[in-house]
A and B are shown apart, each in its own frame.
With several copies, the nearest count.
Chain A
Amino acid sequence: MEYNVKIDAFEGPLDLLLHLIKQFEIDIYDIPVSEITDQYLDFIHQMQRLELNVASEYLVMAATLIAMKSRMLLPKPEILDDLSDEPYEDPEDTRQALMRQLIDYKQFKEVADSLRVDESRRLLLLAKPADDLTDYETQNLSYLPTENRATVYDMMRALERMIARRKLQQPLSTKIDKQVLPITKQMTVLVQALRASANPISFCQLAEHYDRIHLVVTFLAILELMKKKAIICRQDSNFSDILIQLGEEADHFDTDEETFDY
């Protein structure tokens, strides 16, 4: 059995059970306890073997399934002892309850799927932010209506929208961060920048426009260029700014295979 699906792909144990029910063509209205338990445990074990973090709620479900399966194997006591410390739990009741829970959850999952379709259709229609019409207000601006007041959630939502907007305005989005920024390329960029500039460039100057990943790559590029004597770095004292200028090998350094990229 191949498991191409990661446990992260599931929204919890119920979701995983629904997946197994679908995969093994199990009748959701008459779930065979033994089979579903085996499939479920098998999956969890595979995930653990792959050293994937299996959240506790998956393990709780595993325990429930095992308990149900083992009780099914035992004969039902002929006389029910209501006074015993552990009242008898009919495994059939547990099975029915689980089935109802799964059916219930499945419905909402299906609704969620249909909402996803509605959402994606909706996301194709874009509108601009509303203009601030404060300048056109003829009434007294200091009036702050107490009905329909803005809430803290309105404020948080505004912040969230602002962050989304800002993310897109930045030269490097999250998406691009993840892409390879080759050190070799950054080395070339640096040397070109130094050639274009009559004076040495300070490290702080380089750091100005970059995010963290960019900065790390730039720093590594500097180290690599120093090694190849393509640049010379100077620092007057501890923690003072580092000045970078072209070195003797600047015209014929080559970005060989030794240089690893991130």
Chain B
Amino acid sequence: MTPMKKRSIIEGLLYLTGEEGIDLNQLEKILPDTSAQELRRLVESMKQDYLDNNASGLMITDKPDGYRLTTKPELIPYIEKMASIPKATPLSQAALETVAIIAYKQPVSRVTIDEIRGVKSERALHTLLLKGLIKEVGRAEGAGRAILYGVTSLFLDYFGFHSLNEMPPLFEAASQPNEQLDAYDLFYDKYKETVENLKRTENKDEQIVSE
């Protein structure tokens, strides 16, 4: 594999892993014919290229044991501008997940929400509190006495419910286990097939893209 190809893979993975970033040892597993040292050298040169390229708004930053793609600091004024444009979906994915969990599980602590979501929910909680969709409804028993959250009447009003009972049953809405499983299996096979096709035609890939 050419260093070019390796760089393209690293860039793609850095993009997809976003804020989380990617660990050096994950990269080693994905590019097994590449030593940690070589990977480090590759990423360092990519770092430099991003910095030198004034037409790029991205940069690679270090994180413990790995790297993360971020925007360059000089973009902040423009990001602020974008953040203040009223959005088509007024609540972020994080906020929607969090408020849904609270609606179904209230009263619920931040720790529980974090566990269900698998990521920190502090920021989302803060937003939801400010927007008045959730409120503190008490304290948990035991050590720490964690704050418990519940939804407000504004929440019901906003989503057009008269009571929480009108929310779709969670099981039906969120899982539909059979259909999902079928779809997953189907997808898995298709996916394998696609991967095989791609592998077979790896050198011609650029053609597909530019078509």
Q: A residues near B, CB below 8 A?
A: 11-15, 29, 55, 57, 61, 100-101, 103-105, 107-139, 141-145, 147-166, 168-169, 173-175
Contact = CB atoms under 8 A, between A and B. Distances in A.
Contacts of A144: 90, 131-133, 154, 158
A169 B114 CA distance: 14
A138 B195 CA distance: 44
Q: Which interface residue of B71, B83, B96, B194 has the most chain A CB atoms within 10 A?
A: B96
Contact of A141 (B119, B127, B177, B194): B127
A132 B120 CA distance: 12
Interface in B20-76: 20-21, 59, 61, 68-73, 75-76
A49 B164 CA distance: 45
Contacts of B116: 101, 104-105, 108, 162, 166
A232 B96 CA distance: 50
Interface string B171-197: 001110100110010011011001100
Interface residues of B, number: 83
15 contacts: A11-B117, A107-B170, A108-B100, A110-B168, A111-B170, A121-B208, A122-B160, A126-B16, A132-B94, A133-B79, A148-B89, A152-B161, A161-B86, A162-B117, A174-B181
Q: Is the interface of B mostly helix, strand, loop or mixed?
A: helix
Nearest to A15: B118
A169 B79 contact: no
Contacts of B184: 174-175
B17 interface: yes
B87 to A, nearest CB: 7
B158 A126 contact: no
Contacts of B190: 120
Given A111-B170, A149-B158, A152-B168, A134 B117 contact: no
A118 B96 CA distance: 11
A119 B188 contact: no
B124 interface: yes
A127 B95 CA distance: 20
A193 to B, nearest CB: 24
Contact of A128 (B15, B123, B191): B15
Given A115-B96, A127-B68, 11 more contacts: A15-B118, A57-B119, A108-B116, A113-B202, A125-B61, A127-B70, A128-B16, A137-B80, A155-B100, A160-B130, A175-B184
